[in-house]
């Protein structure tokens, strides 16, 4: 009797293997990007870009739907196509300037576990219509649209390109997003507490990268520069919070007799303008500086009550230069 039971159990296990919710890839529609615009009657207009399943060259097609939320728009698009929608390959969420005025509402839903990918790039499109971006970006050299966005919006390609993810935004609510203008990424959109605060230029993008992530080898002022993340030291001066950012920059001149001290001066100048404009005068915790003061408070409630971002009136930036000169094929650091 026991042998019969064991045999029955073994046979049952063979039939139970597999995933109950398995879906064939051929029955899926993969979203590569989503744009968000203001629609009619206070609704949002979502444009979903899909990989064309009938194309062998990675072409894409778009569907537009309006709704009070992302989920409502997805339900409408689901009725237009026969395949099941998948967000596993999404790389970009682009929001118009108007929709970015209430960014929390515009992208609500992308922080839900079903759709949320921590590496989705979040950007703001210059102008009234974010969906027009899809006609501007044409991945001629990279057939895969998802791969194209990943490369195009990578901050590693240029010091003036900001690469901020959905995870970064939902973690801090104040940050710099890449500003998309036509087919180029040039400048930043400054977000303050979930609202579009200001638009910045290429120098602002350089400063943001230097003060948050450092820089891999990039060109600045006729020189190759690179540096790691800055060291940050917080303190209290006359009862007010003070933050000091120290950056050690490796400079390799591209032009003979280029004065490296001039590079240092130019870096310090744009960094000072940047911190004064947004952090000190605008009271935007753009660099998430307040997190360094959290350890000074007993509870998180006391820390939040202090509202340090509005109290920061002094931010210092020190730039140290390491000169690299090329001699006879070898790099010499002075």
C-alpha–C-alpha distance, residues 22 and 147, integer Å: 25
Average pLDDT over residues 263-278: 91
DSSP three-state, residue 41:
helix
Residue 58 has φ and ψ, to the nearest 5°, of 75, 25
Report whether 241 contacts 221 (CB < 8 A).
no
Range 130-141 average pLDDT: 73
pLDDT in tens, 273-287: 999 999 888 889 899
**What whole-number distance in Å separates Cα of residue 112 and Cα of residue 106?**
14
Residue 130 has pLDDT above 60, yes or no: yes
pLDDT tens digits for range 178-225: 999 877 888 999 999 999 999 999 999 999 999 998 888 888 888 888
- Helix ranges (H only) for 173-326 are 202-212, 260-274, 300-306, 308-311
Question: What pLDDT was estimated at residue 12?
Answer: 53
pTM confidence score: 0.82
Which of 290, 286, 317 has the alpha carbon at shortest distance from 302? Answer: 290
At 309, the pLDDT band (50, 70, 90 cuts) reads confident
Confidence tier at 324 by pLDDT (50, 70, 90): low
Average pLDDT score over residue span 291-317: 78
Quickly list H helices, 137-279.
145-152, 166-172, 202-212, 260-274
Instruction: Name the pLDDT band for 254 (thresholds 50, 70, 90).
Output: confident
Q: With CA atoms as reference, report the closest residue to 191 among 216, 166, 213.
A: 166
pLDDT tier at 95, thresholds 50, 70, 90: very high
Residue 241 has pLDDT above 60, yes or no: yes
Q: Which domains does the chain have, with CATH numbers?
A: 22-200 (no CATH), 202-334 (3.30.300.210)
Bridge-based pairing state of the strands 121-125 and 175-181:
parallel
Largest pairwise CA distance in the chain:
93
Strand partners, 232: 245
Q: Is 110 within 8 Å of 103 (Cβ atoms)? A: no
Residue 295: pLDDT above 90?
A: no
Q: How confident is the model at residue 23 (pLDDT cuts 50, 70, 90)?
A: very low
Evaluated on CA atoms 18, 81, 145, 104, the torsion sign reads: negative
Quick: pLDDT tens for 33-61.
999 999 888 899 999 988 776 655 557 78
As a residue count, the chain comes to 334
Q: Give me the chain's average pLDDT, please.
A: 80
């Amino acid at each position: 009797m026991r042998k019969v039971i064991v045999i029955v159990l073994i046979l049952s296990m063979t039939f139970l293997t597999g995933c109950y919710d398995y879906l064939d890839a051929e029955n899926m529609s993969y979203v590569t990007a989503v744009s968000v615009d203001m629609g009619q009657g206070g609704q949002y207009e979502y444009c979903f870009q899909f990989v064309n399943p009938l194309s062998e060259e990675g072409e894409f097609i778009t569907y537009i739907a309006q709704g009070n939320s992302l989920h409502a728009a997805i339900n409408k698009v689901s009725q237009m196509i026969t395949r099941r929608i998948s967000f596993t390959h999404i790389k970009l969420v682009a929001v118009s300037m108007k929709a970015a005025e209430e960014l929390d509402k515009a992208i609500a839903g992308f922080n839900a576990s079903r759709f949320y990918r921590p590496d989705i790039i979040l950007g703001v499109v210059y102008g009234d219509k974010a969906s027009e971006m899809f006609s501007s970006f044409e991945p001629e050299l990279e057939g895969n649209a998802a791969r194209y966005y990943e490369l195009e919006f990578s901050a590693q390609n240029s010091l003036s390109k900001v690469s901020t993810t959905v995870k970064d935004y939902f973690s801090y609510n104040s940050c710099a997003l890449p500003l998309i203008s036509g087919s180029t990424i040039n400048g930043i959109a400054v977000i303050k507490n979930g609202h579009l605060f200001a638009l910045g230029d290429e120098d602002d993008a350089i400063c943001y990268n230097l003060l948050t992530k450092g820089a891999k080898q990039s060109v600045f002022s006729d020189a190759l520069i690179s540096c790691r993340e800055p060291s940050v030291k917080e303190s209290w001066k006359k009862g007010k919070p003070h933050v000091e950012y120290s950056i050690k920059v490796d400079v390799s001149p591209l032009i003979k007799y280029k004065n490296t001290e001039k590079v240092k001066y130019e870096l310090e100048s744009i960094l000072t303008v940047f911190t004064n404009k947004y952090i000190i005068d605008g009271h935007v915790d753009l660099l998430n500086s307040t997190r360094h003061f959290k350890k000074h408070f007993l509870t998180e409630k006391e820390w939040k009550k202090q509202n340090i971002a509005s109290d920061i009136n002094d931010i210092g930036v020190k730039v140290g230069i390491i000169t690299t000169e090329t001699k006879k094929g070898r790099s010499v650091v002075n």
